[in-house]
Amino acid sequence: MTQQTIPVIAIDGPSASGKGTVAALVARELGFHYLDSGAIYRVTAYAAQQGGVALEDEPGLVELAHKIALRFDGVEVYLNGAAIGNVIRSEEAGRAASQIAALPALRAALLERQRAFRQAPGLVTDGRDMGSVVFPDATVKIFLTASAEERAQRRYKQLIEKDFDASLAALLQDLRERDARDAARSSAPLRQSADAALLDTTNLTIAQAVARVLQWFREAKA
């Protein structure tokens, strides 16, 4: 199998849409690899903060992106060999990730790192530009979303489960700001591309969303 023939399911969408949960379950069901591309932006921002690199310092961030060693093992992320736990899952870490994700040179520096996850028997990945930029030849491209209110509820539950403090009103405001920034940037903005199927999960259970993705994948392969 050459890398180009390895199937990819690309799931893009806004923050807290549930795309990560759906993508991970689809990967498990198919026995495919899973890439949470948002975690790459989150870890890079975290590494910058740890290493004293300013979040506006594009050349500094690019250098850092080439230098850091990153490894995923289930939900755990290792930065330069050390497990970093939940620190990258906070709202602050999400905001920092969104800020550096607007820098085109940094996005370019992270491209090959993301493409390296395309390995047999297949890859399920989630992010903002998986179908449009990173894997333009993906087998299935999905734009997974839900209403802002529903997403704020989902994020709230997720944070409380991880023992983070959270306020629903603050989360809703933060989500709206993050969506606006991710959609307004000139480099790979958040938007449904013409060749991506829309999956609105506002009124779907996780199992229903997973089943829909699996069905589209089977149809695309047939």
Q: Which residues bind ligand DC (CB under 6 A)?
A: 15, 37-38, 41-42, 94, 97-98, 101, 127-130, 178, 182
Share in percent of the chain as helix, strand, coil (round to 5): 55, 15, 30
For 82, phi and psi rounded to 5 degrees? -110, 135
Number of Cβ atoms within 10 Å of the Cβ of 52: 8
Nearer to ligand DC by Cβ, of 13 and 122: the residue is 13
Q: Rounded to an integer, what distance in angstroms lies between the CA atom of residue 19 and that of residue 151? A: 11
Quote the least distance from Cβ 116 to ligand DC, whole Å: 15
Q: How far is the CB of 90 from ligand DC (least distance, A)?
A: 11
Supply the minimum distance, in Å, between the C-beta of residue 114 and ligand DC: 8
Can you read off the two tokens belonging to residue 30? 């198919």
48 vs 182, beta carbon nearer ligand DC: 182
Nearest CB to ligand DC, comparing residues 30 and 43: 43
Instruction: Map tokens 């999905």 to a residue.
Output: 142
The dihedral formed by the CA atoms of 124, 171, 167 and 203, expressed in degrees to the nearest 10: -60
The residues facing 22 across adjacent strands are none
| Closest separation in Å from C-beta 169 to ligand DC | 19
Q: How far is the CB of 145 from ligand DC (least distance, A)?
A: 12
C-beta of 73 vs 219, nearer to ligand DC = 73
Residue whose CB is less far from ligand DC, 33 or 178: 178
25, 156 contact by CB (below 8 A): no
Give every CB contact of residue 62 below 8 A, 6+ residues apart in sequence: 105, 106, 109
